[in-house]
Amino acid sequence: MPAEQLHLWINGQRAPAHGSRTGAVFNPASGEVIRQVPLADGDDVDAAVAAAKAAFPAWRETTPLRRARILTRFRELMELHRDELARLASEEHGKTLADATGSVQRGIEVIEFASGVPHLLKGEKAEDVGRGVDSHSLLQPVGVCAGITPFNFPAMVPLWMFPVAIACGNTFVLKPSEKVPSCSLRMAELFKEAGLPDGVFNVVPGDREAVDALLAHPDVGAVSFVGSTPVARHIYATGAKHGKRVQALGGAKNHAVVMPDADMEFSAEALVGAAYGSAGERCMAISTVVAVGEAGDALLPRLLAKAAQIRVGRGDAADIGMGPVISAAHRARIVALIDSGVAQGAELVLDGRGIRVSGCDNGFFVGPTLFDRVTPQMDIYREEIFGPVLIVLRVDNYKDAVKLVNANPYGNGTAIFTNSGHWARRFENEIEVGMVGVNVPIPVPMAFFSFGGWKASLFGDLHMHGMEGVYFYTRTKVVTSRWPAPSERTGGSLVMPTLG
Ligand code: NAD
């Protein structure tokens, strides 16, 4: 069967690309090309930004309540089509259907949060900041905003961005990952069906060419990015150079600290789910266990037994725990990193290289892999592997564990497993990471909190969704006013006014 041809989404309709460059979209379980996606160029980006710019004045004037009603309808349609979106995400990414469904649901919750926008946009008001003088603040939209998203959450990560931006009165141009474009294009159709005016939301699949056109475009006011750290740095620096506000979320190396007092069975169960779910291709996956004292010896056999039981196969097959990784090139990189771990002296406890999945000879599979006695100097510790590889480091005490986590350049997520409130409280206070779990391995904040890491996991100031998302997509204006009676109208003064 010939591969399906995809399109751009500009001004409320499907549009062909100006140029002829296309990208292949794979089903990673079969290794087959299932779709061809146009790769947008500068002219396509110009057309999308022009549509968004033209739609902005009327959308800004649409009251927040009316915007919220369209978002509510969009949420309803997303719920009706949740399984269809999950199937698209699973087909193009490889993750299991159950996992894809969960991630679509977490994205829908951001629409639910954004539907409260009339409340979220209420500013502050203070009476009598001076005698007879009041102040209030307004949160006003930025204008045209752009989003650039990674392959690993085809629906959820775009949903971290555009519902909040659009609810706040902005218009939006989304550049989804060229590896998984279908969810974004489908969501654009559903948003239109919900009543969104044409031009408010546009989708330009593409690669670096489209990204660089967005970053340099004078009519784009804000750029949200989620992806790897080197690209996040590039987006942040280039966007800032062009005078835009930027939030650029990068890669991760998430550590779970396991204290000797932890419930080992519970901890091992949680860690195996967090390490191998979605084949380790989650920015919040636990990829590193820091076992404190005797926790290591208690944990290892349990991790091994549970990891070895994971069934690997097509994401849409029944009873599968883990699907393939995204591409042949990514599989080769993961295998090379496993090779390096062996060469550099780590203990390979479970080897996922060379796994065969029956009926999927050309799929991009790596089996669950577990290393013990890893050191911070090894490449498997230093690199973000982004695959089904869990590494265990052993340290003597709590202090050394915190030192290790804080010395890591990334700071996306972390977790502690313990039965002690003392260690848990110290950990949440001392750890230099943006999202922290206590006996929760993947502490992804709900939509009404904000999502974001520290250090090399986020460039910029504001996290995504929650109130930080609202602040990112709005400009604050503070109004100071007085209404003196005619008899109280004194003249101006050359002295700096002090109210009080
Ligand atoms: P990636 O950085 O390769 O790509 C992300 C986006 O940037 C894609 O849309 C891609 O087309 C574009 N892009 C790629 N190279 C570019 C370049 N040189 N110039 C401009 N644009 C470019 O990331 P990925 O492989 O799609 O996703 C995996 C990465 O994303 C991992 O590092 C993972 O940790 C990270 N991630 C982070 C979070 C988070 O919240 N911090 C969430 C999900 C994924």
283 is catalytic: yes
Q: What is the pLDDT of residues 261-277, one digit of tens each?
A: 999 999 999 999 999 99
**Count of alpha carbons within 13 angstroms of residue 44, beta-carbon side:** 29
Per the DSSP assignment, residues forming a β-bridge with 201 are 172
Pocket test for ligand 1, best of 41, 95, 110, 151 (most atoms within 8 A of CB): 151
Query: How high is the pLDDT of residue 498?
Result: 76
Q: How far is the CA of 76 from the centre of ligand 1 (A)?
A: 29
Q: What is the pLDDT of residues 205-241, one digit of tens each?
A: 999 999 999 999 999 999 999 999 999 999 999 999 9
Q: How far is the CA of 491 from the centre of ligand 1 (A)?
A: 58
Query: How high is the pLDDT of residue 388?
Result: 98
Our answer on whether the CB atom of 236 is closer than 6 Å to any ligand 1 atom is no
Query: How high is the pLDDT of residue 1?
Result: 66
Q: What is the pLDDT of residues 354-399, one digit of tens each?
A: 999 999 999 999 999 999 999 999 999 999 999 999 999 999 999 9
Our answer on whether the CB atom of 386 is closer than 6 Å to any ligand 1 atom is yes
Crossing angle between the packed helical segments 64-80 and 97-114, to the nearest 10 degrees: 170
Our answer on whether the CB atom of 441 is closer than 6 Å to any ligand 1 atom is no
Q: What percentage of the chain carries pLDDT values higher than 70?
A: 99
Q: What residue has token string 């994205």?
A: 107
Helical H segments across 357-450, by residue range: 379-382, 398-407, 421-430
- Candidates 123, 122, 117, 10; CA nearest to 62 is 117
User: Residue 245: what residue type?
Assistant: R
Q: What is the pLDDT of residues 399-453, one digit of tens each?
A: 999 999 999 999 999 999 999 999 999 999 999 999 999 999 999 999 999 999 9
Q: What is the pLDDT of residues 292-318, one digit of tens each?
A: 999 999 999 999 999 999 999 999 999
Our answer on whether the CB atom of 224 is closer than 6 Å to any ligand 1 atom is no
Q: Which of 145, 168, 183, 283 is catalytic?
A: 283
Q: How far is the CA of 394 from the centre of ligand 1 (A)?
A: 31
Q: What is the pLDDT of residues 321-367, one digit of tens each?
A: 999 999 999 999 999 999 999 999 999 999 999 999 999 999 999 99
